[in-house]
Structure 1
Amino acid sequence: MGAERVRRGRGRRPLRAGLILACSGALLAGCASMPDSGDVRGVQATQGPDTPVRVFPMAPRDDAGPVEIVQGFLEALTSDDPQFDVARKYLTADASKKWRPNSSTVVLADGPSTVPDHGGDDAEGGRTYTLTGQKIATVNAQQAYRPDDGPYRQTLHLTKVDGPEGSQWRIDMPPDGVVLGDSDFQRIYQPVDKYYFARDSSSDSDAQPELVADPVYVRGQIDPLTQTVKSLLAGPTRWLEPAVRSRFPSGTQLKEGTKSLSPDDQNKLKVPLNRKADRVGQAQCTEMATQLLFSIGDLTPSAVDEVELLRSDGSQLCVLSQGQAGSIAPRRTAGHSPYQYFLDEKDRLVRMLGSRGGSGSGSGSGKRAGSEPEPVPGPLGNGDQALRSAAVSRDEERAAGVSLDGRSLFVGSLASGASLGDPVVTSRAKSENDRLTTPSWDGRGDLWVADRDPKDPRLLLLEKGAGEPIEVRTPELDGGRIEAVRVAADGVRVALLVTEDGKTSLRIGRVERQGGSGERPEVSVVGLRLAAPQMEVTAMSWAGGSRLVVVGRESGGVQQIRYVKCDGLTPSGGVLPGLNGVNEIAASEDDGLPLVAHSDDGIVRLPSGAAWQTVVEKGTAPVYPG
């Protein structure tokens, strides 16, 4: 049998050896000959399909040559075979037992290129090939993605084994884990946010706990719901683990024999657990179910309305509905404020009602979209203190503003008649560009700001927006200068724009706090990692549990606005409509609300499904609460 060919997307291209594609129930295939000699060529990454496509691998032919075996094995790694059973058919029996495809996935910019050892057969009659490529990321056994720039080079060895039809080529030294191209990775793997509770949710004993998103990647065509539940039970990824806790007892797994989970026709999901969870109390079980409900929220055609956790004997542990989960972890972090804020031409903090979808009028310069801006109540809206930047607390009861010269940070109430007190932070830097950054509030009610004074650079935290600032330790910055700070709503992750060696990059850090019960805490930002490694980023904002919107450019490219994941993945198709001269951008964690930006056209916003719309021609520093 020859290699299959299919029509995909807008053009016709050969389907590589060892794969069959099925789309909408129809199999589209043709035949072509497969050479069994010569060099193995680079495996080009699959073009992304416009509609969901299932890819099924083909087992090796009895008389397949070494080139076809190598090619077929690499193709099988890009298939939707749940346990890689067909890929194992290209291996010797011993190699199949030792190979662990789930131990890691290496993501290359393109598919792996394969270079044969031109010396021919070795002394044992085998063949050696070298897999090469440019790495962009590694996905570990915990399904966590991490950018990993550098060359990839690994050998692959084949030998002849006895088979029912005589001697057959098989791979006895496969590559570690799985290796594939970026487009194949994004076709096969689905990003999922599993949720854990912040280890130190708040210094207030009566505060409700914060949920923290932990992004992982599951195979989208192979029961992603069950994969996600298993990953949730296994615990947080190593990077996030020091800052969060799971309410599932250590060692909790699905009950032995549970193959798959799916909601019933009432959108209720039953989850049988092993004996490790048999004795948990009602309160703990409720928090366990809350984690689960938020983690699987987007994995079924219609949302799961209710979760029932079961003991190992099948009896009920607890039941929790979506509404009850919302009351346990209300995710005040969700950013559902109806208001958008910015500074008007009088350097006052103003607000306007946000619009959803494509509502609002106007699509070009000078056209106004949505409601008219109005000064906020309180001292930061009356114009007495001119501002260059501002931030609004997530409960919208207070706002913080940096003075026009960048020297002073004020905190004021958003209540009529309130007065503005003394600055809570003051920079001593001589240059305005070396003073305070735009402030940022987290979901705990704490206020963050960076002082860029070259003589005394500091990242500062004010608990509840008041008191003596805490200097946050940043041991991994190595002299880099913080240009911008945005704290995630959970208070556990912080996004920093850092300039080093003349280039500004986006880095995500983990917030760790030590101390409590009335004592002054020690706060550190650690575990810094690049979130948009190919871009020089000039502006950014959190845009969901594990997503940011960024403004920047790749080397030699033009300015672009796009979404990135906080773990460093740059989703295909994440580029947003272009806009001239974007200086600042703001996003809500409610994806139904539009992006807001400060550009050459003034304050503009991008409702879902619409073009950029001008709000006012003069204005700066757009923000949502946070």
Structure 2
Amino acid sequence: MTRHLRRARGRRHAAALVVLALTVLLAAGCVRVPESGPIRSTGTVPGDVLAEGVPAIDPEPPTPGAGPGEIVRGFLDAMQASPVSTTVAKEYLTPDARASWQPERSTIVYADRSEPTGTSQIEVRLTDADRYDAAGAWRGRLDPAAAVLRFRLAYVDGEFRIADPPNALVVVRSWFEPRFTPADLYFFDPAGRTFVPEPVVAPVGESRASMLVRALLRGPAPGLSGVEQTFIPAGLELALSVPVDAQGLARVALTGEVPPMSAEQTALMVAQLAWTMRQDPRVLAVQVVLNGTLLRMAGGADRVEVGTGSSFDAGSADASGVLYGLLDGRLVAGPADSLDLLDGPLSRPGRGLRSVAVALDGASAAAVTGDGTRLLTGPTRSGTLTPVTDRASGADLLPPAWTVGGRLWDVDRAGGRAVVLTGRGGSAAPLKEVTVPGVSGADVRRMLVSRDGSRIVAIVGTGDRSRLVVARVAASADDRILRVLPARTLPTDDQPGRILDVAWYSDNALAVLRRIGDGLTRVDTIGVDGSPTGAQGLSTTVTGGRSLVGSPDPSQALYALTADELVDLSRAGRGTRLPRGGVAAFTYVG
């Protein structure tokens, strides 16, 4: 999988593509979109969302004398107009149904469908179908009963028409992939020090920047208080669209009543906008106009380069691609094909460490002793008086993890009754227990924490009953953990085999290693919210895979570890096998 596809962060919420794209496209056509739903079935919208080489689709209207099955088939086909439009689809409905049809209420995306069957009531069965809400949030797979669509037809002027269409936009998955790409909305953590990305989708073309801004203005999703925040005042709206000139300058005109904003708040708001809009390849810099007044930053600048927010992006905290690991239980670091001993205290002879994690700044490390009973922290290099500190003890400590601000996490498996531990990395105080519903007290075999500190990922259970769960972390502005929301189980049951390991594939997608046969393993990707990654994901087999090494920074390679090799799973190095040279416990920072 190419690095730019990894930058796309996986295909998340595929069906949300239409929901969100219609919001932007209809706005571009000067149609006001209400807050109650982003889809408006009003005419043909401009064709600027079409990707290069993707043909337009002009659906056929109803054929005179068409039978019930033909009408249903034509209706489903008409919802795949390109540019996006529901005008032709409405022609297949009775007048009453046309007036009451609300496709904005949800979206159903499917891999395939059966031919229409029946007489007075027509049925169509969908396969591999998912449901998404009006905001584009993934709401799970359709069960077999819900995947059967039923249509009642009536006569209108001697022609069959659909009287009760489902209040959903029903489209085939393959329709989306050439026309839309994933993106992230960037909010801030409660301390205002790092971005927290949330997945969305955006059309390819001139509407992309507008869609991203409109989605960002909606703010964090309900229920994420304490997990993330926005510095964009509530009530702001985008005036029409975001024009981008030939020099790559995007002008964001916002309107609405806002309280006075400090220089810091203004800078953080513009950073959110710029870092989010950089995902439109046309946009190189951003200007913000608020109620007709051009905002100026400290120093008088009236434009911000899109790369300005890079200092807030924890996902790419270490762009060097340095790998860390253990050689004979001692800390080593370097490129994948040449890791050397460091000169810090954790690299001294006799350490006998079994796992390690390195802080985002590369200056500190946390390591578990060979017997799994103690967690030690210390500097990665010499030249400091900081000693090795004993931070935690337990029966069976898993590999630790670091997040932004130097927070340290670990799990004591405790005989199948896991205890989750956390604390400030720079402190000498012991880590403290924190309750993670769905993880604490379970049989946990692996835990990851996102670099921004907002997500905990864990493998829970053993054998074929193992599950992958994700929980969100709420914290205070001074970095105290307030609570952890109950963990959600991700839908990995469609992939056979025991889950062996999980690693970051991007900041919003995970790579999952499974054993699928004698000596054969498979690596697949899944969105961190449970959505399928589709064409932007990865699916490959590895002989003898034991574990994974991944990073939320998509510019870094994803590796599978075998008994004696590192296997590069990125397209640039696909098939490349590097000798491990006795090194174990490979990891990136974090």
Give the TM-score, by structure 2 length.
0.81
Contact 1:235 1:246 (8 Å CA) reproduced: yes
| d(CA) in 1 for partners of 2:165, 2:425 | 55
* Stretch of structure 1 that moved more, 213-222 or 99-108: 213-222
Given the alignment of the two structures, is residue 528 of structure 1 paired with residue 452 of structure 2, yes or no? no
Question: Could you say if the C-alpha distance between residues 477 and 382 of structure 1 is closer, same or farther in structure 2, counting changes exceeding 3 Å?
Answer: closer
| d(CA) in 1 for partners of 2:518, 2:81 | 35
Q: 2:390 is aligned with what amino acid?
A: P
Q: 1:150 is aligned with what amino acid?
A: D
* Stretch of structure 1 that moved more, 379-388 or 148-157: 148-157
1:156 equivalent in structure 2: 151
Query: How far does residue 142 in structure 1 lie from its aligned partner after superposition?
Result: 1.4
1:42 equivalent in structure 2: none
Given the alignment of the two structures, is residue 61 of structure 1 paired with residue 63 of structure 2, yes or no? yes
State the aligned residue count.
527
Question: Could you say if the C-alpha distance between residues 601 and 579 of structure 1 is closer, same or farther in structure 2, counting changes exceeding 3 Å?
Answer: farther
Q: Deviations over 1:318-361 (max 9, x none)?
A: 4442367336x53244133425334344121211136xxxxxxx
Three-state SS of the structure 2 residue aligned to 1:284 is: helix
Match of 2:320 among 320, 323, 338: 338
Question: Could you say if the C-alpha distance between residues 477 and 556 of structure 1 is closer, same or farther in structure 2, counting changes exceeding 3 Å?
Answer: farther
2:512 equivalent in structure 1: 550
Query: How far does residue 614 in structure 1 lie from its aligned partner after superposition?
Result: 0.6
1:171 equivalent in structure 2: 162
2:242 equivalent in structure 1: 261
Q: Deviations over 1:21-64 (max 9, x none)?
A: xxxxxxxxxxxxxxxxxxxxxxxxxxxx9964443322222333
Query: How far does residue 221 in structure 1 lie from its aligned partner after superposition?
Result: 6.7
Paired residues for 1:453-492 under 5 Å? 453-454=414-415, 456-464=417-425, 466=427, 467-477=429-439, 480-492=442-454
Higher helix fraction (1 or 2)? 2
Question: Could you say if the C-alpha distance between residues 310 and 181 of structure 1 is closer, same or farther in structure 2, counting changes exceeding 3 Å?
Answer: same
Q: Deviations over 1:121-172 (max 9, x none)?
A: xxxxxx322333345532211112243252223322221223xxxx222212
1:322 equivalent in structure 2: 305
1:231 equivalent in structure 2: 215
Q: 1:326 is aligned with what amino acid?
A: G
Query: How far does residue 93 in structure 1 lie from its aligned partner after superposition?
Result: 2.7
1:582 equivalent in structure 2: 545
Query: How far does residue 375 in structure 1 lie from its aligned partner after superposition?
Result: 0.9
Paired residues for 1:395-406 under 5 Å? 395-406=361-372
Query: How far does residue 100 in structure 1 lie from its aligned partner after superposition?
Result: 2.2
2:187 equivalent in structure 1: 196
Q: 1:310 is aligned with what amino acid?
A: V
Structure 2: tracts of 5 or more residues without a match: 1-50, 297-301
Question: Could you say if the C-alpha distance between residues 445 and 289 of structure 1 is closer, same or farther in structure 2, counting changes exceeding 3 Å?
Answer: same
2:271 equivalent in structure 1: 290
Q: 2:188 is aligned with what amino acid?
A: F
Query: How far does residue 181 in structure 1 lie from its aligned partner after superposition?
Result: 3.7
| d(CA) in 2 for partners of 1:379, 1:522 | 34
Q: Deviations over 1:513-547 (max 9, x none)?
A: 36x759x6444243524164533432122233212
Question: Could you say if the C-alpha distance between residues 618 and 569 of structure 1 is closer, same or farther in structure 2, counting changes exceeding 3 Å?
Answer: same
| d(CA) in 2 for partners of 1:444, 1:495 | 19
Query: How far does residue 267 in structure 1 lie from its aligned partner after superposition?
Result: 0.3
Contact 1:586 1:597 (8 Å CA) reproduced: yes
| d(CA) in 2 for partners of 1:379, 1:410 | 11
Paired residues for 1:499-510 under 5 Å? 499=461, 502-510=464-472
Question: Could you say if the C-alpha distance between residues 512 and 554 of structure 1 is closer, same or farther in structure 2, counting changes exceeding 3 Å?
Answer: farther
Q: Deviations over 1:480-521 (max 9, x none)?
A: 32211111111111211111685222222101236x759x64
2:74 equivalent in structure 1: 72
Contact 2:474 2:481 (8 Å CA) reproduced: no
Give the TM-score, by structure 1 length.
0.77
Paired residues for 1:209-608 under 5 Å? 209-220=193-204, 223-238=207-222, 240=224, 243-255=227-239, 258=240, 260-277=241-258, 280-300=261-281, 302=282, 304-312=283-291, 314-318=292-296, 319-322=302-305, 325-326=308-309, 329-353=311-335, 369=337, 372-416=338-382, 420-428=387-395, 435-454=396-415, 456-464=417-425, 466=427, 467-477=429-439, 480-499=442-461, 502-513=464-475, 521-530=481-490, 532-535=492-495, 536-552=498-514, 559-573=521-535, 574-575=537-538, 578-606=541-569, 608=571
Three-state SS of the structure 2 residue aligned to 1:454 is: helix
Q: 2:419 is aligned with what amino acid?
A: R
Three-state SS of the structure 2 residue aligned to 1:69 is: helix
Three-state SS of the structure 1 residue aligned to 2:551 is: coil
The RMSD of aligned alpha carbons is 3.0
Contact 1:547 1:563 (8 Å CA) reproduced: yes
Question: Could you say if the C-alpha distance between residues 92 and 190 of structure 1 is closer, same or farther in structure 2, counting changes exceeding 3 Å?
Answer: farther
Q: 1:373 is aligned with what amino acid?
A: L
Q: 2:401 is aligned with what amino acid?
A: S
Question: Could you say if the C-alpha distance between residues 276 and 57 of structure 1 is closer, same or farther in structure 2, counting changes exceeding 3 Å?
Answer: farther
Three-state SS of the structure 2 residue aligned to 1:55 is: coil
- Which structure is richer in relative contact order (CA contacts within 8 A, separation 6 or more)? 2
Q: Deviations over 1:289-329 (max 9, x none)?
A: 221222222223x4x121112233x33134442367336x5
Contact 2:132 2:139 (8 Å CA) reproduced: yes
| d(CA) in 2 for partners of 1:497, 1:50 | 41
Contact 1:479 1:500 (8 Å CA) reproduced: no
* Stretch of structure 1 that moved more, 169-178 or 231-240: 231-240
**Identical counterparts, % of pairs:** 25
Question: Could you say if the C-alpha distance between residues 604 and 278 of structure 1 is closer, same or farther in structure 2, counting changes exceeding 3 Å?
Answer: same
Q: 2:69 is aligned with what amino acid?
A: V
Q: 1:138 is aligned with what amino acid?
A: R
1:621 equivalent in structure 2: 585
- Asked which structure has the greater CA Rg, the reply is 1
Contact 1:586 1:624 (8 Å CA) reproduced: yes
| d(CA) in 2 for partners of 1:50, 1:309 | 29
| d(CA) in 1 for partners of 2:295, 2:530 | 38
2:42 equivalent in structure 1: none
| d(CA) in 2 for partners of 1:463, 1:231 | 34
Q: 1:154 is aligned with what amino acid?
A: L
Question: Could you say if the C-alpha distance between residues 138 and 239 of structure 1 is closer, same or farther in structure 2, counting changes exceeding 3 Å?
Answer: farther
* Stretch of structure 1 that moved more, 390-399 or 380-389: 380-389
Query: How far does residue 619 in structure 1 lie from its aligned partner after superposition?
Result: 2.1
Contact 1:505 1:530 (8 Å CA) reproduced: yes
